[in-house]
Amino acid sequence: METLNPDLLKTLLAFVDSGSLAQAASSVGRSPSAVTAQMQRLEEIVGEPLLTPQGRGRGLTSAGEDLVGHARRILAVHREAWLALKGARAAGRVAIGTTQDFADSGLPDLLRAFATSHPRVRIELRVGRSAELAQALQAGGLDLAIVMRQAAAPDEVGVLREPMIWLCSQKGLASRQEELPLALLDPYCGFREAALAALDAAGRRYRIAAGSASLAGLRAAVNAGVALTLRTPRFAHSGIVEAPREFGLPSVPMAEFAIRLRTGADAPASDLAALLGGNLASFGHPG
């Protein structure tokens, strides 16, 4: 009997969570052809088709839907076993910094798993913007940080790739205007730069209708229907949804986040970094 390779199951879940094979390839750090080959291999092991044509893309067959539930349970058992072996005798502290995106979505579940397996390790959590977190990591104030990636860094231990999407209030804009109203974080922000670059390239007129230094302020402006914004699907909850096609918004690139580990960090921080690198991409997506 052939066993289900965890790497193949991770690719399946990346497809389910991202919605396409192309985005799954980016998420797991493989080429689209390699991801297609992995899915074909998984179908050979299962003995049934897992994917079926659906509109312009691919969807799950009934066998694929059944396998998704098993895949999540199998990977959860692998994760728990690995953590239990790593954390049995671990002690000390881990100072982790993260952007609000992951503090709201994905990170809490994984921190719970880590705390369960590493009961003697104290976790210190700091939520902030990427630039200030990167500075704190460099200064030794953090052991580990999840930050938006601008360029490759020598302390990276993992890279997460997620689609950027245009978002608005579920109730729509409070008023229709000739210029597209935007809600953006204050500079410097990678999402701000990507939004403005895409609109400029498309020749789309816009105005910055709301600015904020925090994601809480950004969420309030979008929820109120004051403006649209650009984030990842992790921001799409609590009344915020993907903007409808009728807005005619331009396409935007993938967002990249780096998991960065301080040089010389203790073993518990390395354990947490490995946990996040292997699992954060598949945790916390809406739906």
Same domain for 242 and 264? Answer: no
16 vs 240 pLDDT, higher one: 240
Task: Tell which of 63, 83, 103 closes a domain.
Answer: 83
Same domain for 172 and 246? Answer: yes
**CA–CA separation, 18 vs 286, rounded Å?**
10
- Judge whether 14 and 27 are in contact, CB under 8 Å: yes
Whole-number pLDDT of residue 140: 93
Q: How confident is the model at residue 286 (pLDDT cuts 50, 70, 90)?
A: low
Same domain for 56 and 119? Answer: no
Same domain for 99 and 154? Answer: yes
Q: How confident is the model at residue 28 (pLDDT cuts 50, 70, 90)?
A: confident
Is the C-alpha dihedral spanning 199, 204, 205, 210 positive or negative? Answer: negative
φ/ψ of residue 88, rounded to 5 = -55, -40
Helical (H) or strand (E) element with 174: none
pLDDT at 287 > cutoff 70: no
User: Residue 64 burial (CB < 10 Å; 0-12/13-18/19+)?
Assistant: buried
Same domain for 101 and 152? Answer: yes
β-partners of residue 123 are 94
Amino acid at 3: T
Domain of residue 45: give its range: 6-83
Q: Would 70 be classed as within a structural domain?
A: yes
Cα torsion for 164, 168, 170, 171, to the nearest 10°?
A: -170
pLDDT digits (tens, 9 = 90+) for 187-234: 889 999 999 999 999 999 999 999 998 888 999 999 999 999 999 998
Rg over alpha carbons for the chain, rounded to the nearest Å, is 20
Same domain for 74 and 122? Answer: no
Identify the CATH number of the domain in which residue 42 sits: 1.10.10.10
Q: Would 247 be classed as within a structural domain?
A: yes
Whole-number pLDDT of residue 241: 95
Arithmetic mean of pLDDT, 54-64: 83
Same domain for 107 and 144? Answer: yes
pLDDT digits (tens, 9 = 90+) for 149-163: 988 889 999 888 888
**CA–CA separation, 231 vs 233, rounded Å?**
7
β-partners of residue 101 are none
Same domain for 64 and 206? Answer: no
Same domain for 170 and 247? Answer: yes
Is the C-alpha dihedral spanning 21, 26, 30, 33 positive or negative? Answer: positive
Number of domains observed in the structure of the chain: 3
Angle at which helix 32-46 crosses helix 62-87, to 10 degrees, equals 100
pLDDT at 144 > cutoff 70: yes
For 187-228, give the DSSP string: SS-HHHHHHHHHHHHHT--EEEEEEESSHHHHHHHHHTTS-B
pLDDT digits (tens, 9 = 90+) for 65-78: 888 888 888 887 77
Arithmetic mean of pLDDT, 161-168: 92
Q: What percent of the chain has pLDDT over 90?
A: 39
Same domain for 246 and 276? Answer: no
Q: Would 245 be classed as within a structural domain?
A: yes
Identify the CATH number of the domain in which residue 122 sits: 3.40.190.10
Task: Tell which of 83, 103, 137 closes a domain.
Answer: 83
- Judge whether 207 and 183 are in contact, CB under 8 Å: no
List of residues 6+ apart from 38 with CB closer than 8 A: 7, 8, 11, 30
Q: Would 287 be classed as within a structural domain?
A: no
Q: Would 269 be classed as within a structural domain?
A: yes
Task: Tell which of 34, 57, 83 closes a domain.
Answer: 83
- Which range is least confidently modeled, 6-20, 79-93, 191-205? 79-93
pLDDT at 180 > cutoff 80: yes
Q: How confident is the model at residue 89 (pLDDT cuts 50, 70, 90)?
A: low
Q: Would 1 be classed as within a structural domain?
A: no
pLDDT at 86 > cutoff 80: no
- Judge whether 157 and 260 are in contact, CB under 8 Å: yes
- Judge whether 119 and 92 are in contact, CB under 8 Å: no
- Which range is least confidently modeled, 31-40, 85-94, 172-181, 188-197? 85-94
Arithmetic mean of pLDDT, 29-40: 84
- Indicate the average pLDDT of the chain: 87
Same domain for 94 and 155? Answer: yes
Task: Write down the pTM of the prediction.
Answer: 0.70
Same domain for 79 and 105? Answer: no
